[in-house]
Amino acid sequence: MDQIWRRGVFEISTERARLDYDVLCDFLSRSSYWARGRTRDVIRRSIEHSLPFGLYRDGRQIGFARVVTDYTTFAWLADVFVLAEFRGQGLAKWLMEVITTHPELQGLRRWVLATRDAHELYRRFGFAELAQPGRWMERFDPQQGNGGLSDDANVETASAKGLAHT
């Protein structure tokens, strides 16, 4: 069921039909460090398989986040952004409040995310560095575009092993 939260002229909605894919694709594929080069089709499919949260001002999309989840034990928070001209107004905090208190996302055992520069924001909502990072693994494909966070090291490792195409 789609939900809407309001704060003054701002709204957050889980309504897929409201998402502005021009804004999403422009920011994610051109401006973000983690999704640079991601195609429109990949962005569309990633959102189809997630719980999306659009952030709007007077109907214009100005931010976004999505949660990849089984709704029972696990959630991955991804693609969180607020357009630069709207930052500094507490909107990212509000977006995180809405997401972490969403009724369908309660009782999960584990939430994860990856960030290069927003650790303090996420700490406010109970996130911390991995307690046992040695237990976590990833399968990274450098051909799928810039993943942003630690991908430079992964590409170097893959290249050294002869796995990356240059």
How many alpha carbons fall within 13 Å on the CB side of residue 157?
Answer: 9
Query: What per-residue confidence (pLDDT) applies to 141?
Result: 84
Residues above pLDDT 90, as percent of the chain: 83
CA–centroid distance for 128 within its chain: 16
**Mean pLDDT, range 138-143, rounded to an integer:** 85
- Report how far residue 119's alpha carbon sits from residue 70's, in angstroms, rounded to the nearest whole number: 24
pLDDT tens digit string along 93-104?
Answer: 999 999 999 999
Q: How confident is the model at residue 112 (pLDDT cuts 50, 70, 90)?
A: very high
CA 132 to chain centre: 22
User: Tell me, what's the pLDDT at 147?
Assistant: 52
SS3 141: coil
Is the predicted pLDDT of residue 153 greater than 70, yes or no?
Answer: no
Compute the average pLDDT of residues 31-36.
93
**pTM of the predicted model over 0.75:** yes
How many other CB atoms are there within 10 angstroms of residue 155's CB atom?
Answer: 17
Q: Give the pLDDT mean for 4-8.
A: 97
**What domains, with CATH codes, occur in the chain?**
4-128 (3.40.630.30), 130-166 (no CATH)
φ, ψ of residue 52 in degrees (nearest 5)? -90, 150
Using DSSP's 3-state secondary structure scheme, residue 2 falls into coil
More confident: 58 or 155: 58
